[in-house]
């Protein structure tokens, strides 16, 4: 009888260990494209669906993404690097500045802004870049809380309501962006003035 009880105890203990290990195993990291590219409208819609990203607004009449409530979950962590607050997303292995550009810039000025971050070793790093539209779109939340002005986690500064990506639609004159204030991804002329939220891979 004791032998049977001991055997049952060992089986239960082994099951608990397996269960605990499963609970502690982190979700796989989603590695998004980091190199700038030409992205079509079809490709945009495809990756939003593929990665289960959020896209609150319905832009299907414009040939862009419809309203999508995705199930992609971030794992944000605020860190201080060289006296600068940054946000690390462990779900994508990306680091974002908590605060982006203070002013709106053209796309070419946005590239100069990022270059300045690197030459001044912003937050201690020299590999900042404009995010691809995949990386930038990953930040969209489906809902705003009453205190939020953007479809963006409140850990981020809410000033940067509309941000440049590194990607183009069909030419360098037509660039993808994310409008966090209204919850959608679209494209605009490179001479438009938008904010910048740089990123780096970790």
pLDDT at 195 (0 to 100)? 99
Which regions of the chain are under pLDDT 50? 1-24
pLDDT at residue 146, as a whole number: 79
pLDDT score for 25: 52
Instruction: Quote helix, strand, coil % in the chain, to nearest 5.
Output: 30, 20, 50
Give per-residue pLDDT as tens, 63-122.
Answer: 999 999 999 999 999 999 999 999 999 999 999 999 999 999 999 999 999 999 999 999
Question: Which H or E run contains 185?
Answer: strand 184-189
Q: Say what the pTM is.
A: 0.86
CA distance 120 to 25: 38
Beta-bridge partner residues of 76: 89
Are 52 and 72 spatial neighbours (Cβ–Cβ below 8 Å)?
Answer: yes
Do 181 and 148 touch, CB atoms closer than 8 A?
no
* Per-residue pLDDT at 124: 98
In the numeric block, the tokens 């070419």 are attached to 108
In terms of Cβ atoms closer than 10 Å to its own Cβ (0-12, 13-18, 19+), residue 200 is buried
């Amino acid at each position: 009888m004791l032998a049977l009880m001991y055997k049952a105890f060992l089986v239960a203990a082994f099951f608990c260990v397996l269960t605990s290990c499963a609970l502690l195993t982190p979700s796989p990291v989603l590695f998004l494209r980091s190199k700038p590219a030409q992205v079509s409208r079809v490709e945009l819609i495809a990756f939003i669906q593929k990665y289960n990203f959020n896209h609150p607004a319905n832009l299907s009449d414009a040939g862009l993404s419809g309203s999508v409530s995705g199930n992609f979950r971030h794992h944000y962590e605020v860190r201080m690097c060289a006296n600068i607050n940054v946000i690390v997303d462990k779900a994508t292995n990306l680091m974002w500045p908590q605060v982006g550009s203070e002013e709106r810039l053209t796309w070419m000025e946005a590239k100069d802004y990022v270059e300045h971050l690197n030459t001044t070793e912003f937050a201690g790093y020299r590999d900042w870049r404009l995010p691809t539209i995949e990386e930038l779109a990953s930040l969209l939340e489906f809902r705003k809380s009453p205190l939020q002005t953007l479809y963006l986690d409140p850990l981020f500064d809410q000033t940067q309501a509309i941000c440049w990506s590194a990607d183009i639609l069909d030419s360098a004159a037509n660039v993808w962006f994310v409008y966090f204030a209204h919850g959608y991804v679209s494209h605009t002329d490179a001479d438009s003035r938008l904010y910048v939220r740089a990123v780096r891979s970790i």
